[in-house]
A and B are shown apart, each in its own frame.
Chain A
Amino acid sequence: METNNRAHLLGLALIPALATASFGCQELNTPLYFAGANVWAAGADDPLPTSGVALRFRTPTMQEQMKLDAERDAKGYDMDIPWISRDKVHVEVSYKVTLRCPTMDERAQQDGPTFDCDDANLPNSATFTLIVDGASEYAKYDTEIVSAALQESPDDPPVFLPLITTVPQTLSRGGSFSGIVREDDFAEGEVDLDALGRWNDADTASPTFAGVLINRSEVPPHIGMGLVPGFSISPTTGERLFNPNVLVVPAIYEVDLRLKADAPMVLEYFVRVRDDDDRLWHNDADGVYTPSPTLFQPPAM
């Protein structure tokens, strides 16, 4: 009888165990994908061809806004706690670049490529770099604007200082390269953008904005992070201390890609978003959150 009861319990245990196992997996991976419009580069383009995806978020409820305010008070912040924040919204870009001419069908599409391209004249190899800019709810970064500001004379070659960039890749004719601009890359770009936007140090003795972009924020001496909460100065040693618990970083909600290529290439991409607190807008009953970021302009302008 005892054995029979044990077997009954085993049978009953099958149901919740398997149901939990299968539905537990759902929490591990719930990203959303947004397809971006293809970017066509003719080669040595000026300005660089670009495409972007602006994510739409719902407005916070009154309760959620009160929670953000309470968090701001608890941290002793001078600024608002972002609704679209890096710890809740995680962005990644999956892309593929191919060295080829557009097909007739692609040319016929609305906003399709119009440049001349002959397959026979394609180079055997060419190089590309993917430049990623974007906007948080407070600041927007545009590599072209910054490049124009840095250009001392119209004949100077443009200098690009992207928010996030990829390692240059060389493609053979007809070849393609697939890559990912990872969440980690965006996390670094987001803190840089916040440092340049909300916490920009206008002190001329401070490192330039290029120092913010080039150096990793969490690595000492935390160049350009002078005013960002979470990068406090030790009263005893004078060193800058990094405290990630205090850091509240707005996430990039608008992703702008630019393709810098030597020859005709096409960029296909998807923006992948993990939205921990269901803040993306998907219900008509909710209002759409409309941030108005300020365009970053380098001091040289």
Chain B
Amino acid sequence: MAAALATSSMLGSAPVRAQVTSEPSAVVFPDPEKFAHGFFTEGEFGVLWFSGRASDEIAPGFAVGARAGYDIFRFFAVQLHLIGSTHQSQGDTPIAGQLLQVYQGTAEAKVTLRLVQWSFFAEGGVGAARMSSNLLYARGLARYRTGFTFGGGGGIDYHFLSRHFSIGLRGGFYVLSDVTSSRDASSTMYLRYTF
């Protein structure tokens, strides 16, 4: 009986209310500081096309690629990039309609400007490009199947509320030094995961 009265007395006491004693600080939501940074990987797909003399011979094609890199700072990263694309030869030649794959590997540096969930970046690097066949050699445009390449590009990135994932759109432009007067350009969408 005494215990019941004691309980009743506690429940019947005045309720406790939280009190705001100062104005809340202005928190940016989401907080980019909480986005993961460091080692990251990306997978991409899109289109790759040639400009210059090679564009007369080779049609644009589907491209798929991957990147792995490390954010040294939030605004600066280094990365390795591999991209492969498949094309068809074109033009008024006997070998129009043949398939050709192009593989490119580059070491790149990247600078980023972040605005909350959005970021804008520019990147560039050097590497090598390899053709799956000697088709361009047969057309008198390239002496070797593997050659030096350099160039760069940029894009826009959107970070999800997840700490790790973001998606983006990028474009690139690379000089193919061993293909006569030719460059290649790409436009891809990517998914990025930062560990």
B-contacting residues of A (Cβ < 8 Å)? 7-8, 10-12, 14-15, 17-19, 21-23, 25-26, 29-35, 94-96, 176, 178, 268-270, 272
Contact = CB atoms under 8 A, between A and B. Distances in A.
B43 A268 contact: no
Interface string B124-150: 000000001111011000000000000
Contacts of B162: 7
A15 B94 CA distance: 38
A95 B94 contact: yes
Given A7-B193, A22-B84, A270-B94, A30 B133 contact: yes
- The secondary-structure label for the interface of chain B is strand
Interface stretch (B8-16, B97-105, B173-181): B97-105
A285 to B, nearest CB: 18
Q: What are the 7 closest A-B residue pairs judged by CB atoms, nearest first?
A: A22-B84, A11-B193, A33-B138, A18-B66, A96-B94, A14-B43, A94-B94
Given A15-B68, A35-B138, A269-B94, A22 B164 contact: no
Contact of B101 (A17, A26, A35, A269): A26
A94 B95 CA distance: 6
A26 B103 contact: yes
B93 interface: yes
A18 B103 contact: no
Contacts, number: 88
Contacts of A178: 94, 96
B95 A33 contact: yes
B41 A12 contact: yes
A94 B86 CA distance: 20
Contacts of B194: 11
A10 B193 contact: yes
A11 B94 contact: no
Given A22-B83, A23-B103, A25-B84, A32 B134 contact: yes
A96 B93 contact: yes
A14 B66 contact: yes
A33 B134 contact: yes
22 contacts: A7-B162, A7-B164, A11-B164, A14-B42, A14-B43, A14-B193, A15-B41, A15-B66, A18-B65, A18-B66, A19-B66, A22-B66, A25-B84, A31-B133, A32-B134, A33-B98, A33-B133, A33-B138, A34-B138, A96-B93, A176-B92, A270-B138
